[in-house]
Structure 1
């Protein structure tokens, strides 16, 4: 088992980068979902959404 780690220690860098990318994508998805839920709530109340909330969807 020690030989396996000493031979492939460098793999922790690309695997870490992939994990970080997946986590960032998941956090972006959650943020976008929260904005859409807020817009849905405002639409149900018949209110105009603030420009800052709409700007978050543009990025």
Structure 2
């Protein structure tokens, strides 16, 4: 089993980059979901959303 790790230690780097990409995608999803929630609340209240908030979705 020790030899298996030493032969494939370099796979930690691509796997780490993939995990980082998944984490960043999840953070981006949460940010967009939160902005959509705020826009939904503003629409329910009948208020006009600020332009900066709409630009954040783009």
TM-score when normalising by structure 2:
0.97
Extract structure 1 runs of 4+ deviating beyond 6 A: none
Does the residue aligned with 1:48 lie in a helix, a strand or coil?
A: coil
Task: Tell me how far 1:21 sits from its aligned partner.
Answer: 0.3
Give the total of aligned pairs.
58
Task: Tell me how far 1:26 sits from its aligned partner.
Answer: 0.5
Task: Tell me how far 1:2 sits from its aligned partner.
Answer: 1.0
CA distance in 2, matches of 1:57, 1:24: 16
Task: Tell me how far 1:30 sits from its aligned partner.
Answer: 0.4
Q: Does 1:23 align with 2:14?
A: no
Structure 1, gaps ≥5 residues long: none
Structure 2, gaps ≥5 residues long: none
